[in-house]
Amino acid sequence: MGRLAQTDGLTEIQRDILATVREFVDKEIIPVATELEHKDEYPTAIVEGMKQLGLFGLTIPEEYGGLGESLLTYALVVEEIARGWMSVSGIVNTHFIVAHMINAHGTQKQKDYFLPRMAAGEIRGAFSMSEPALGSDVSAISTKGVKDGDFYVLNGQKMWLTNGGTSTLVAVLCKTDEGGSSPYKNMTTFLVEKTAGFGPNPTVPGLTVPGKIEKMGYKGVDTTELVLQDVRIPADRILGGIPGRGFYQMMDGVEVGRVNVAARGCGVARRAFELGIAYAQQRTTFGKKISEHQAIQFKLAEMATKVEAAHQMMVMAARKKDSGERNDLEAGMAKYLASEYCKEVVEDAFRIHGGYGFSKEYEIERLYREAPMLLIGEGTAEIQKMIVGRRLLEEYKLAD
Q: Annotated active-site positions, please? A: 378
CA distance 165 to 170: 10
The vertex-176 CA angle with 171 and 177, nearest 5°, equals 155
Residue of 312, 250, 213 whose CA lies nearest to 97: 250
Residue of 377, 167, 159 whose CA lies nearest to 264: 377
Q: What are phi and psi of 228, to 5 degrees?
A: -120, 120
Q: Are 125 and 167 contacting, i.e. CB atoms less than 8 angstroms apart?
A: yes
CA distance 341 to 310: 7
Handedness of CA 305, 308, 314, 320 (dihedral sign): negative
Residue of 291, 161, 182, 147 whose CA lies nearest to 226: 161
CB atoms within 10 A of CB 190: 25
CA distance 12 to 15: 5
CA distance 66 to 88: 20
Residue of 92, 86, 47, 90 whose CA lies nearest to 69: 92
CA distance 367 to 250: 29
Handedness of CA 233, 235, 237, 243 (dihedral sign): positive
Q: Which residues, in sequence order, are bridge partners of residue 227?
A: 157, 208
Angle between helix axes 363-376 and 328-353 (nearest 10 degrees) is 150
CA distance 340 to 372: 9
Rg (CA), the chain: 21
Q: Give the N- to C-terminal CA distance of the chain in Å, as an integer.
A: 53
- Tell me which amino acid residue 133 is: A
DSSP for residue 25: I
